[in-house]
Chains A and B, each alone.
Chain A
Amino acid sequence: MFRSSGTYRRRAVTLAAVATLGAGLLAGCADDGDDETGSSGGGKGGNKGGTTITVGTFGVFGYKQAGLYDEYMKLHPDINIEETSIERNENYYPQLLTHLGAGSGLADIQAIEIANITEITTTQADKFVDLSKAPGVKKDNWLSWKWAQATTKDGRTIGLGTDIGPMAICYRKDLFQQAGLPTDRDKVAKLWAGDWNKYIETGKQYMKKAPGDTAFVDSAGGVYNAVISSNAKRYYDESGKVIYKDSPAVKEAWNLATTASEDKLTAKLQQFQKSWDQAYSNGKFATVSCPPWMLGHIKEKAGDKAKDKWDVAAAPKPGNWGGSFIGVPKASKHQEEAMKLAAWLTAPEQQAKLFEKQASWPSAQAAYSLPTVADAKHPYFGNAPIGKIFAEAAKGIPTQVLGPKDQIIGSNIADIGLLQVDQQGKSPKDAWKAATKTIDNALDQ
């Protein structure tokens, strides 16, 4: 008897252990953050009870850094906020799609990049909460095109605009002076006001007396991006048809970019590569298209030795580069609380604070008149009145026609086509063919 009961006991213990492990594993798969709710009262947040809202972002959204989460938690003692961030949107976005498809693993608030917003509104809208009627959301706070980008055809708004990227031109005063060009930001802006061709002309003038082995602009891809971003119709027409091959805007941007490269105005770089950063540090080019978020990058990479050498002037035509939205998935267990938080984070006052601390330009036009934005000056860029310059640009941004595959088309034109011209010395005709082949292969389903 004892013999068998002994083995039984052992076996029971083993079974229990296995069961516990198994249950733990299963729980690990099944539980996705919904176990931190109020009922347990405490746990992670120390003595804090209440609801935990999770926020999923990519890169640096700056909410945490600007202290906005802390402020909100102070205003709402029963709320905890936890942010998880994935560094690059290329990795974040596929994961978001997978989670949306599976209906689990989602945070209560999810960030969406502008390049993906059309794909989300056309294919995933039913998985997001309509925020247009959320408490504290006022449609008129936002720039109308920003609001429209996250709104479906049947009028549901699934994302609230966070920041936008109105573009200016950052330029090196010292290099401009040596090349015999004006250095005052208003005079510089006048050199090319209203016409990208004039920008290229200025480049040719610069190259005639270019100091050392510097170039006028960093890359052909950068020129292309700046020109295309100032156009309303790019890769899609209003009916959602892909038209990039015949789009006049693409043609104009492509021609200007390849001209810049063939006339040797570019430093033959690729943006956001190590060599690009090194070229900042070594002062190898005189201009670059810069939205507000780029200023911090320039300051960091060009460093102290370039202090007061950079300045900001208005671009030939205003355009937009980048920006994001935040939405609340329907799978969220705390939709009400998440909607309140999303509305608060994107309200003009908070957007202004975010601009002050993180240089994210507000998509809420109501923020532009707030003193922290309107009177903003950047000491590194010779105290340039960036509040004024970017507000001006933001108001002039055209209402762009977006499409679900904008990112694939745009990045392949720049990273395949223009790199072939700029870095491999191929003819624009061959490079265009290579780019369109890649894009056709990518779009064809």
Chain B
Amino acid sequence: MTPPSGFTAGTAAPPTGQGGAAPRAVAAKAPDPGEERRRARRSRRYRWDIKYSPYAFVAPFFLFFAVFGLFPLLYTGWASLHRVELTDPTHMEWAGWHNYSRLWDDEFFWNALQNTFTIGVISTVPQLLMALGLAHLLNYKLRGSMFFRVAILTPYATSVAAATLVFVLLFGRDYGMINWALGLVGIDNIDWQNGTWTSQLAVSAIVIWRWTGYNALIYLAAMQAVPSDLYESAALDGASRWQQFLHVTIPSLRPTILFTIVVSTIGATQLFGEPLLFNGGAGASGGPDHQYQTLGLYLYEQGWTNLHLGRASAIAWTMFLILLLIAAANAIVARRLRKSQ
């Protein structure tokens, strides 16, 4: 609020000296009702300015959020209670909870949920552990530490599509580099894409490759904020490097670790691009046995391949509820942790 008043004070000064002084003097002597009113209006406006302008300034975000976030969310909820087809999206037929209740008996939904969970675990756990280790290494005084820091962030900067295409080639059955390398040590060709575990490992590998560096940098930033006297006193007590890591670094990183877990969990629940492209453009089925079809892929298949918008909306809302559950669980764990400290 300060800049406008400062600005007007500067520009308003010269006129006051010439002609502006007269009315003001008059106003002081005999209160002119018109001037009074004007003043009251002005001060009212000023009060409103102070009171409401901040809302106006933050309004654009909320406006955009309402249009592009809240409205789609609510509309999706509304659509999920209807039978809607993409061939005629304006024609909605009330279906009640049917779209949700059928998910309960839908083996493809449960399969997708299970895949999302297993891929989530085998991608998130190693990823965060590796990130922690990498951050610890980068925290040492290294020659060219800047280079390494930038280098581990480069996978994050590549596009999902490009990375996945390369991984599809690497994991190829007949001409893939990984099978070639395994062949050198006498292991037969593995059909990565067709096995349940192998395909999920392969998809997880893409996720791990892309996100480890990102998480490592977050950990690194948190590690550098750990006061060094903690390490010094630990060293004086005779703690080894490993013990220092275990008893000083990890506890100091707790909130950061929790943050990365939350973010990775959300990412894992919404996993979409990697499994879609891992199928090499053959649709959102997630392999012939749906062996790597995640919830995101199943939603996409229902909505954009099978054109059932209502069912897809129900899946979207179920995913949203699952995320809320996870968030609640996280909050409880976080509170427990804080209490135990």
Partners in one complex: yes
* Interface, chain A (partner B; CB < 8 A): 1-4, 6-7, 10, 88, 90, 94, 97-98, 101-102, 119, 123-124, 270, 272-275, 278-279, 282, 284, 408, 411-412, 415-417, 419-420, 423-424, 434, 437-438, 441-443, 445
A-contacting residues, B17-34, CB 8 Å: 20, 23
**CB nearest neighbor in B for A267:** B174
Asked whether B133 is an interface residue with its Cβ less than 8 Å from the other chain, the reply is no
* CA A201 to CA B301, docked complex, whole Å: 38
**CB nearest neighbor in A for B90:** A101
Asked whether B36 is an interface residue with its Cβ less than 8 Å from the other chain, the reply is no
Asked whether B48 is an interface residue with its Cβ less than 8 Å from the other chain, the reply is no
* CA A97 to CA B11, docked complex, whole Å: 58
Asked whether B172 is an interface residue with its Cβ less than 8 Å from the other chain, the reply is yes
Chain A contact residues: helix, strand, loop or mixed: helix
**A98 engages B280 (CB within 8 Å):** no
**B289 engages A420 (CB within 8 Å):** yes
**CB nearest neighbor in B for A95:** B304
- Stretch with Cβ within 8 A of A (4 or more), from B80-88, B116-124, B238-246: B80-88
Q: Which residues of B contact A284 (CB under 8 A)?
A: 174
Known: A4-B42, A274-B168. A438 touches B289 (CB 8 A): no
Q: Which residues of A contact B304 (CB under 8 A)?
A: 90, 94
22 CB < 8 A contacts A-B: A6-B12, A10-B4, A94-B86, A94-B303, A94-B307, A97-B307, A98-B86, A101-B90, A123-B88, A270-B282, A272-B280, A272-B282, A273-B280, A274-B280, A275-B173, A279-B174, A412-B285, A415-B282, A415-B285, A441-B106, A442-B301, A445-B85
Asked whether B194 is an interface residue with its Cβ less than 8 Å from the other chain, the reply is yes
The 6 closest A-B pairs by CB, nearest first: A419-B288, A101-B89, A273-B280, A6-B8, A442-B306, A123-B87
**B7 engages A10 (CB within 8 Å):** yes
**B280 engages A424 (CB within 8 Å):** no
**B281 engages A88 (CB within 8 Å):** yes
Q: Closest CB of chain A to B20's CB: distance in Å? A: 7
* CA A1 to CA B20, docked complex, whole Å: 8
Q: Which residues of A contact B290 (CB under 8 A)?
A: 416, 438
* CA A58 to CA B201, docked complex, whole Å: 34
Q: Closest CB of chain A to B16's CB: distance in Å? A: 8
19 further contact pairs, Cβ within 8 A, besides A424-B288, A438-B285: A1-B20, A2-B11, A6-B8, A6-B11, A10-B4, A10-B7, A88-B281, A90-B304, A94-B304, A97-B86, A101-B87, A101-B90, A273-B281, A284-B174, A415-B282, A415-B283, A415-B285, A437-B107, A445-B85
**A101 engages B289 (CB within 8 Å):** no
Q: Closest CB of chain A to B72's CB: distance in Å? A: 14
A-contacting residues, B162-199, CB 8 Å: 165, 168-169, 172-175, 191, 193-194
Known: A3-B8, A90-B305, A270-B282. A278 touches B168 (CB 8 A): no
Q: Closest CB of chain A to B313's CB: distance in Å? A: 14
**CB nearest neighbor in A for B89:** A101
A-contacting residues, B48-97, CB 8 Å: 83, 85-90
**CB nearest neighbor in B for A14:** B56
* CA A424 to CA B280, docked complex, whole Å: 17
Q: Which residues of B contact A3 (CB under 8 A)?
A: 8-9, 12
Q: Which residues of B contact A434 (CB under 8 A)?
A: 288-289
How many chain B residues touch A (CB < 8 A): the figure is: 45
Asked whether B108 is an interface residue with its Cβ less than 8 Å from the other chain, the reply is yes
**A423 engages B7 (CB within 8 Å):** no
* CA A412 to CA B305, docked complex, whole Å: 11
* Interface, chain B (partner A; CB < 8 A): 4, 7-9, 11-12, 15, 20, 23, 42, 83, 85-90, 106-108, 165, 168-169, 172-175, 191, 193-194, 280-283, 285, 288-290, 301, 303-308
**B191 engages A2 (CB within 8 Å):** no
Q: Closest CB of chain B to A242's CB: distance in Å? A: 14
* CA A438 to CA B111, docked complex, whole Å: 12
**B288 engages A2 (CB within 8 Å):** no
Q: Which residues of B contact A7 (CB under 8 A)?
A: 4, 8
Q: Closest CB of chain B to A445's CB: distance in Å? A: 6
Q: Which residues of B contact A1 (CB under 8 A)?
A: 20, 23
Q: Closest CB of chain A to B207's CB: distance in Å? A: 20
* CA A388 to CA B278, docked complex, whole Å: 40
**CB nearest neighbor in B for A412:** B285
**A416 engages B306 (CB within 8 Å):** no
Q: Closest CB of chain B to A10's CB: distance in Å? A: 6
* CA A401 to CA B316, docked complex, whole Å: 36
Q: Which residues of A contact B308 (CB under 8 A)?
A: 445
* CA A1 to CA B168, docked complex, whole Å: 71
Q: Which residues of B contact A441 (CB under 8 A)?
A: 106, 108
Q: Which residues of A contact B88 (CB under 8 A)?
A: 101, 123
Q: Which residues of B contact A119 (CB under 8 A)?
A: 87
* CA A408 to CA B85, docked complex, whole Å: 15
Q: Closest CB of chain A to B217's CB: distance in Å? A: 32
* CA A55 to CA B173, docked complex, whole Å: 40
Known: A97-B86, A274-B280. A442 touches B289 (CB 8 A): no
Q: Select the residue from A98, A275, A284 with max chain B CB neighbours within 10 A.
A: A275
**B85 engages A411 (CB within 8 Å):** no
Q: Closest CB of chain B to A329's CB: distance in Å? A: 15
Q: Closest CB of chain A to B212's CB: distance in Å? A: 25
**CB nearest neighbor in A for B310:** A445
Known: A408-B306, A416-B288, A419-B288. A273 touches B87 (CB 8 A): no
Q: Select the residue from A419, A423, A445 with max chain B CB neighbours within 10 A.
A: A445
